[in-house]
Structures are given as structure tokens and as C-alpha cells.
Amino acid sequence: MKSGCVLAVVFLAVFCHGSLSCPAVCKCYSRRMEVVCNDVPLIEYPSEGLPENTTMLTIQFTNITSISEQHLSATPLLQELHLNENHLENLSSHLLRGVPHLHTLDLTGNKLSNLPADVFSHAVIRSLVLKNNLINQADAEWLPDNSSLTWLDLSGNHLSKIPTTLLQRLPNLENVDLSNNRLEKLSSNSLDPLTKLGRLNLQNNKLNTLDASVFQRMHNLTSLFLSQNKLNKLPSNIFQELTQLTHLSLDDNQLSHIPTGLFDPLNSLEDDGLDLTGNPLLCDGKVEYLWRWLQKNKKKVFLAETITCALPELLAGRSVMSLTENEFKLS
């Protein structure tokens, strides 16, 4: 019994580097080297009392407004830091210099707007989540060249563009979420560095057209979300290189025509993998390609029967699949 108690105390001492304390409003889990401060009355980062051997720290639903390099230096072995749903307005430059082992940083649901240069340098971050903040400009200087990032979430911000210089620093990205922003345009070669990308979410932006070459280097892409934009036309060869694509959402755009050959390269689409609902399709002679493609690939299309004609008035509301060849050729 006594030896067991001694071992337990030694284990805790190793975790806490000589201190069995834990911030009063937090919970410390020695077996997982984890500290959780959840929905507590904090107004400052709780540096004092944090066990030095902490590898995972969660501080959420508090009133903390800033965090600095000095704060994080209290836990030099930190690997995961989750700071979602606080009131963070400021991050210091060189924020991660004291936590070189950090690989996951989640800052969801704060009030961050302008971030300083080098803010995410000095650590081998693989997952960076900045979702639902107030960021209106992304800066290449946030991250080092040849960054280790594989997951980047900038959704729910105020971005109107993504600089190519930032993406050039992220050759290892596998997942990018830029949904729910204000993106109006993607320059033709801006995504070229992202050759490892498997998932790209551009949903709910203000894109009205896309360059034919924008996805030309994305041979590993499996999921592409373009729904809820303002796309009114697409180049016929825009998906030519996306032979691994299993899911494509084009719903709730302004597409009136689907150009001949658009979906032909997409042989890897899974069942219900294509969503085309909510577009104002014009069912004239140009709808023939879509009509024939739907007949052959019905299982690959989500709610295929609900893809309907908006015009001409005579065919408005009709399912494209239900049309006869005479009907759309006479329109």
C-alpha cells in the first residue's frame, strides 16, 4: 500500500515538476498530461500553476482577451492548444517560440482580426484552426517557408482574397477550409502549390466564375465544395485533372448551362457525390449534355430528380431527367 502511494506521488511530481498545484478554476489530468479550463471566470491566461509537463491544454468559454509568448513558455512541452470560444483580440508576435513541440492550435470563435508577422512560426504546427474570427486579411508572414501545416481552417472570417504568397508556403496542406468568407476571385495559379490537397471547401463565398486552370495541379483532390456561391458559368475543362474526385458540390449557384464534357473526367464520383440542386437551369438545346449525363449517372447525383428547369416558362419546374429530346430541342 505504502509503495503504491509513493509511486503515485512520484508520478504526479514528475507531471507537475515538483508542484502538485493546478490553476484553481481548471482541472488537471496527470495520466494524460492534460489541463482543461472550461467555462470558468478567467480574464487572464492562467500561466501560474500550470504543470510544466502539460502536453494538452484547453481553455474555452472564458473572458481572456490576449495571449503572449511569455504565457506559453510556462508549458514548454505543449503539443495541443485549444483556445476556442474566448474573447481573444490579440496574439503576440513570435507567439510559439516557447512551445516548439506544438502541432495543433485551435483558435475558433474569438475576436481576432489583425495578426502579427511570425505569429505561427517557431513550431511545427500541422493543424491550425482560425474559424469564426474577424480576420479580413491573410498574410504570408504568419508562417515560415515550407510550413508543416496539413490542415488549415480559415472559415467564417471576412476574407475577400487569399494571397498566393501564403499558399506557396504551405506545400503540405491536405485540407483547406475557406468557407463562409467573402472571396470574390481565385487567381488562375493561386492553388498550384497545393499538390497534396485532398479536401477544399469554398462554400458560401462570392465567387462568380473560375479560371479553367485553377484546379490543374490538384491531382489528389477528393472533395470540392463550391455550393452557395454566385457561379454563373464554368469552363468545360475546369475539372479535367480531378480524376480522384469523389464529392463535388455545385448547389445553390447561378448556373444556367452545364458545358459539354464538364463532368466526363469525374469517373471517381461516389453515389450521391455530385450536388447540382438549386441552380436556375435553362432547358434549351444546350441542356442535352446534362440530360444525357444524368441518364447514365443518376446514382452519382444527389436528388437527381429535383434538378429542375427554371426556363423556358413552358418547362419551368420540370425535372431535367424527365424531359424528352423533342421538348428541349424545341425550346
Set of cell numbers at residue 235: 469552363
Decide: 38 and 29 in contact? Cβ < 8 Å: no
Residue 308 lies in a domain: no
The pLDDT, as a whole number, for residue 288 is 95
Residue 1 above 80 pLDDT? no
| Mean pLDDT of the residues in the chain | 92
Residue that has been written with the C-alpha cell 477550409 in this structure: 177
pTM: predicted TM-score of the whole model, two decimal places: 0.91
The pLDDT, as a whole number, for residue 200 is 98
Q: Which of 34, 104, 95, 37 is nearest to 70 (CA)?
A: 95
Residue 292 above 50 pLDDT? yes
204-260 confidence digits (pLDDT tens): 999 999 999 999 999 999 999 999 999 999 999 999 999 999 999 999 999 999 999
Average pLDDT over residues 280-306: 96
Residue 297 above 80 pLDDT? yes
Residue span of the structural domain in which 9 resides: 1-134
Residue 11 lies in a domain: yes
Query: What is d(CA 22, CA 35) in angstroms, rounded to the nearest whole number?
Result: 8
Query: What is d(CA 275, CA 224) in angstroms, rounded to the nearest whole number?
Result: 11
Query: What is d(CA 73, CA 81) in angstroms, rounded to the nearest whole number?
Result: 13
Using pLDDT thresholds of 50, 70 and 90, give the confidence band for residue 58: very high
Query: What is d(CA 310, CA 317) in angstroms, rounded to the nearest whole number?
Result: 6
Q: Which of 163, 112, 152 is nearest to 134 (CA)?
A: 112
Decide: 75 and 97 in contact? Cβ < 8 Å: no
Comparing 1 with 43, which gets the higher pLDDT? 43
135-156 confidence digits (pLDDT tens): 999 999 999 999 999 999 999 9
Query: What is d(CA 119, CA 1) in angstroms, rounded to the nearest whole number?
Result: 49
147-201 confidence digits (pLDDT tens): 999 999 999 999 999 999 999 999 999 999 999 999 999 988 899 999 999 999 9
The pLDDT, as a whole number, for residue 20 is 55
Q: Based on the structure, what is the number of domains in the chain?
A: 1
Kindly report the backbone phi and psi dihedral angles of residue 181, in degrees, each rounded to the nearest multiple of 5, phi listed first.
-120, -155
Residue 302 lies in a domain: no
DSSP string for 114-132: ---TTTT-SS--SEEE--S
Residue 327 lies in a domain: no
Residue 287 above 70 pLDDT? yes
Residue 175 lies in a domain: no
Residue 75 lies in a domain: yes
Residue 121 lies in a domain: yes
Set of cell numbers at residue 65: 482577451
Average pLDDT over residues 13-31: 69
Query: What is d(CA 223, CA 208) in angstroms, rounded to the nearest whole number?
Result: 20
Using pLDDT thresholds of 50, 70 and 90, give the confidence band for residue 31: confident
Using pLDDT thresholds of 50, 70 and 90, give the confidence band for residue 328: confident
Residue 114 above 80 pLDDT? yes
For the chain, the distance separating the N- and C-terminal CA atoms, rounded to the nearest angstrom, is 89
Three-state DSSP class for 36?
strand
The pLDDT, as a whole number, for residue 47 is 87
CATH code where residue 50 lies: 3.80.10.10
Residue 154 lies in a domain: no
Using pLDDT thresholds of 50, 70 and 90, give the confidence band for residue 13: very low
Average pLDDT over residues 314-330: 88
Residue 104 above 50 pLDDT? yes
118: left (phi over 0), alpha (psi -120 to 50) or beta: left
Using pLDDT thresholds of 50, 70 and 90, give the confidence band for residue 326: confident
Residue 327 above 50 pLDDT? yes
Average pLDDT over residues 72-77: 96
Average pLDDT over residues 97-121: 96
Residue 10 above 60 pLDDT? no
